[in-house]
Amino acid sequence: MIKIHGRITSANVQPVIWCLEELGVDYERLDVGGPFGGTDTPEFRAMNPLGLVPVLEEDGQSIAEAATILRYLMRKFGNHPADPMAAAQIERWADMSRQHIYVPLIPTIFLQKIRVTVEDRNNAAVAQAEAALKQAMAIFEANVKGPYFGGEELNLVDFQIGGLLYRYFELDFDRADLPGLKAYYDNLCLRPAYRENIMIDFSAMKVPGA
Ligand SMILES: N[C@@H](CCC(=O)N[C@@H](CS)C(=O)NCC(=O)O)C(=O)O
């Protein structure tokens, strides 16, 4: 059975679990990382030398990096196309979202607003990330094809972009008002597996003074 090492409060673990649930794949999730620890053991470092979650373990082999795990799951159990060009058309958006949504949103805006006190906050970095995110989101807004990013069915892109939208809409920051993306998000919110694994309240992660 597939084992996922990673705490469910992690923005990188959540899309992996959402994906497994949508695909109906049996798995076990182990609380690792953050307050649970467990990332410094030789066994964990052998699976991910960076000591970060998530890690997928299956039949004595392992995969680190959320994007790689999602790709593996969608290839093995999902609707990821076998044709390289068709697959690349999807991966292109998944990779773009990783670089242009995840990077400004999670390691900068989320981190600065939730894990750093107001006193120590790097407001210049937040403002720069907000501007970059507005640009990127306008491009995604213009390219949503239907109820899901690629049209009528969930695909790899949804797990990458959709996985970030709860924090995008719930965090208090200067974001663009994009009706297409909001409608896309509202549609994802109808999915029980999305609500259960992505819409996880992060207020407890807020440090005092943030
Ligand atoms: N590039 C990695 C980043 C993973 C990452 O930053 N994970 C964070 C949680 S979101 C982590 O492991 N932090 C340390 C911890 O939770 O102990 C990926 O995409 O999987």
**Confidence grade of residue 209 (pLDDT, cut at 50, 70, 90):** very high
Q: Is 42 exposed, middle or buried (0-12, 13-18, 19+ CB in 10 A)?
A: exposed
Q: Which atom of ligand 1 is nearest to the CA of 13?
A: 10
**Confidence grade of residue 141 (pLDDT, cut at 50, 70, 90):** very high
Domain regions of the chain by residue span: 2-76, 84-191
Query: 116 alpha carbon to ligand 1 midpoint, in Å?
Result: 17
SS3 5: strand
Q: Stretch 135-154: mean pLDDT, rounded?
A: 95
Query: 6 alpha carbon to ligand 1 midpoint, in Å?
Result: 9
Cβ(63) to ligand 1 under 6 A? no
Please tell me the class of the 84-191 domain.
mainly alpha
Residue whose CA is at the smallest distance from ligand 1 atom 17 = 33
Q: Which atom of ligand 1 is nearest to the CA of 10?
A: 10
Q: Which residue has the tokens 């697959």?
A: 87
> CA 61 to CA 40: how far, in whole Å?
19
Question: What architecture (CATH level 2) is domain 2-76?
Answer: 3-Layer(aba) Sandwich (3.40)
Cβ(10) to ligand 1 under 6 A? yes
Cβ(39) to ligand 1 under 6 A? yes
**Confidence grade of residue 63 (pLDDT, cut at 50, 70, 90):** very high
